Amino acid sequence: MSADFPVALVFLLGAVVVPLLHGRLRTAWMLLLPVAAFACLLTLPLGESGQVELLGQTLVLMRVDRLSLLFGYVFVLASLLNVIYALHLKDTVQHVAGLVYAGSSIGAVFAGDLMTLFIYWELTAVSSVLLIWAQRSDSSFRTGLRYVLVQLLSGMFLLAGALLHWRTTGSLAFGQIGLSGPAGVLILIAFGIKCAFPLLHNWLQDAYPAATPTGAVILSAFTTKLGIYALARAYPGTEMLIWVGTLMAAFPIFYAVIENDLRRVLAYSMNNQLGFMVVGIGIGSELAINGAVAHAFADILFKGLLFMSMGAVLLRTGTVKGSELGGLYKSMPWTTGFCMVGAASISAFPLFSGFVTKSMIMSAAAGEGLLLTWLVLLFASAGVFHHAGIKIPYFAFFGHDSGIRCQEAPRNMLVAMAIGAALCIGIGVFPQALYAILPYAVSYQPYSASHVVAQLQLLVFSALAFAVLMRTGIYPPELRSVNLDSDWFYRVLFASWAQRATDALQQARATFGRMLRSTGGRLYARIHRHHGPQGSLARTWPTGSMALWVTTMLLAWLALYYLP
């Protein structure tokens, strides 16, 4: 394969063939695509290639540097795990959508200009919504519609910003943009929607729990991390992002504690992890950027693993509500184990992946003297262990025994989870392997005695807090419920405004119609009175009276004639 062949096309063209294949051939083909794409990545030369001239602009399909390559690797890796995880499915739509989604995300990562980025950006939106609609229920259809509207809105902001950027700078190149002009603001909003900035975040918690068991795993890997990549490319060192990220790391954990749907808990904890990455990008130092993208890499794997374990639970029991589950370790011991590896990784236990990546961001924040941010991130670190590290495994697999007895997850799911778990531990034990492919050279050492002890103290005492609250009955029980979040504004408030506006409009129309009818009626009545059958102007006269009048007229004429 030629070195400048766009890697995205491996998936996009490969996906077209999938519906034509069946059985083992299809399985082999779908497994081959990520492997081929990975081989492609390994041969890529650094630099720009795949230039296309369009409308006087040079579009760069492949911009290969250490940053895009890192995301390329992890996206291909995630797509391989996703394919394995979904192998048992017969649903062609989901297979094709998953591959196109992965391909377009990879295409966006290597895009060297804003127009190529925009095209792939929209393609990720359109392909990913199929993973929600594949659930084929009324409510998931509506959720998918909300999801895709938000994603396309992000695309519109990107397009508007890109065109404005082109007008002001004369270039479409996708590099450092910064917040200097309106174009920068528009593009930041576009990226902010994908990264789930506070108040722009709720599509994430709304949509991911509505996707199919396998769809949620695929969704969790790409869209938000693509946002992080784009942010790291265009806005490193933008101070505002430190505060946005700090807020993002903190507020979702409160929601996660009281949320009943365990996949939505994961969506909240994803929001919280994205907050760490956004802080890293906002700080913008080499250590911070390294930390942000390394954490994105690790997050794709451990969050994918957690979504996989919940997907397996959903597949086998039909629910992921904390209020319905419990005691599943008896039926699904392997899934339980893999889930706990994911939980330990997201909680940043030593020897697991989160420990070696999140700490780079924490260390960068402390190094810059950002006291408040550091304290909030530390709070969020304790909180994430609490809601994702303990709550997810506890309420699903341990806790009160729900009495549900089911089969262990299908073998292909277990294989995908096993690989994911192995990678989480592998990165935790051998961080140098990940550090070697980060954008900047790494001198950071995660395994110092004081760091390991501090982290263990933080986590063990968080666990103790959970245990104490649980045993004293203070811990809020899982309840069947929904919690209001920013989607309330557009699902209830704006909807009620729209309803009211429609009502008012309808009423105005009805009043106008009534007025028109009554005015018309009156007009008609008047015409009718004068010109109708009985109207004085349209009355028919008897012939006799006419003859009489004619005689009268003739007599008058005669009289006048004889007058002297």
Residues contributing to the site for another protein (CB under 8 A): 139, 253-255, 257-258, 329-330, 363, 366-367, 369, 371, 374, 378-379, 382-383, 386, 398, 401, 448-450, 453-469, 471, 474-476, 479-485, 491-492
When the beta carbons of 119 and 458 are compared against another protein, the nearer one is 458
* Distance of closest approach, residue 450 Cβ to another protein, in angstroms: 4
Q: Which residues lie below 8 Å from residue 256, measured CB to CB, with a gap of 6+?
A: 265, 268, 269, 272, 383, 387, 388, 391
* Distance of closest approach, residue 180 Cβ to another protein, in angstroms: 31
* Distance of closest approach, residue 250 Cβ to another protein, in angstroms: 10
Cα–Cα nearest to 120, from 66, 185, 194, 206? 194
Angle at the Cα of 332 from the Cα atoms of 326 and 335, rounded to 5 degrees = 100
* Distance of closest approach, residue 258 Cβ to another protein, in angstroms: 5
When the beta carbons of 104 and 331 are compared against another protein, the nearer one is 331
Cα–Cα nearest to 281, from 246, 252, 319, 316? 246
* Distance of closest approach, residue 367 Cβ to another protein, in angstroms: 6
When the beta carbons of 450 and 543 are compared against another protein, the nearer one is 450
When the beta carbons of 126 and 366 are compared against another protein, the nearer one is 366
When the beta carbons of 454 and 548 are compared against another protein, the nearer one is 454
* Distance of closest approach, residue 487 Cβ to another protein, in angstroms: 9
Q: How many CB atoms lie within 10 A of CB 239?
A: 11
When the beta carbons of 415 and 465 are compared against another protein, the nearer one is 465
Cα–Cα distance, 388 to 464 (Å, whole number): 15
- Residue 196 sits at φ, ψ, to 5 deg, of 60, 50
* Distance of closest approach, residue 201 Cβ to another protein, in angstroms: 15
Cα–Cα nearest to 355, from 284, 417, 434? 434
Q: How many CB atoms lie within 10 A of CB 73?
A: 18
DSSP string, 317-367: HS--BTTT---GGGT-HHHHHHHHHHHHHHTT-TTSHHHHHHHHHHHHHHH
* Distance of closest approach, residue 292 Cβ to another protein, in angstroms: 19
When the beta carbons of 115 and 265 are compared against another protein, the nearer one is 265
DSSP string, 206-219: HHGGGS-HHHHHHH
Cα–Cα distance, 104 to 122 (Å, whole number): 9
Distance of CA 273 to the CA centre of its chain: 14
When the beta carbons of 128 and 462 are compared against another protein, the nearer one is 462
